[in-house]
Structure 1
């Protein structure tokens, strides 16, 4: 997600580290990006960045913005973003595992990457807690542990509020959200138009209307994505020992017979024959 910039330096003030949450105050020079806070799985990490002084430019798929004093930014490690300080910038940063948040993935995705007013409402509470946490002595273990959970709970509340009052989304933005959601949940046999609509706060009718311009129904598109993932996995060299039914179940097909029929209809060959042809071809 982010890399340690060569010129970023921690301030001389205290920093705090905790197994579930990492906190740090950093000073960036012109052009520096966000530092790596030390998580092993950055893709599953949430970062809250709050400028104490100066500002930070952020570029995401949705466009460019500036995070300055009085605002905050919640960064999702799964969403590509680039950062650069504008002149000298002092930031309060906390990072914690995405699993600590109580909100569903679509709500997190819609809330992150947005520059928020940190001087009112829940965002102000998040800002105060983050800055306090960054300034807490690392040796003060009990208060630090309590604050860690407190910050995660506040960020969850903030995300929930933003989900209830989301930005008006264009149809193409919503479609991008839906595709991302489906790809993350292909292995869930309960994935359905109803569950997708509920996760994105739209009606099933509107969801189907969005797919009218795609030339395929939503259910058919989900099945196509699952079949392609199954074909990819079965076609890997040296995968001859894997059971076809195991692969089918892994990608959301509860009925092996239905999976075999759908696979043959889509690719003109049975799953077993496809796997064996790929293995034989590589051996030859």
Structure 2
């Protein structure tokens, strides 16, 4: 089954329910301030599901106010985009100098790195919400584009919004149908749906938005690889995990470049090793040390890969090549 966390206020003594819910928000979500007029009669039920590097959640909660102050925003750690889908009740939201009121199936998105306020209004009844949290660092659309969407109404009954609403409803209400191994794949599907929804409301051509988003993500992944070339544990699974995407989605991104992830890593490592072999200041450094430095712990593997790429073994290259100009 998917990794799931559940909180029920009925499991807590009446006088402690709101405080227990508030502490659970801070522990499982992020630093938040909250208050409610319900006092000891406060009721809430929350379910949180992990989908790879993302998460989805569902909650039925009594009316309350949730705030992230500037100080709490600075404590929030890695930034998240949070999509909120009201099922019943209303939400008054304020962030980035904007205010809006959203009713059932009026979705909106928040940035965890910025202060915000949410007022959950149930007109005497509980407010039912669903939502998703995705890492900003691994999200395909650039931050300036996302800034335009903060607090904006995103209809959840039509188009890409309806697809996303259906996805959230299905996943959170039928967790028993999924295995834990489905989590990363469902997380990749969530990213695709969110990207489609946001691109539509940015008034962008879907194919152009998709291409630009994939290219932006590709550039971030390539930069990450170049920063970690010396790490022998640099593999597709570790790269995918660092960017909160599935391994299969990582491979699909590289298919557009007509190269595999592993081949691109190997090319970069060989290029850096080749540069070191041509560096006069490193003449006394053994070839196997240079190979190991760039992620080839076995000298024979390095020699074979180098010969395949440059038509000569590294020892011959070092003897005959001129220094590579910077």
Provide the TM-score with structure 1 as the length reference. Answer: 0.49
Higher alpha-carbon Rg: 2
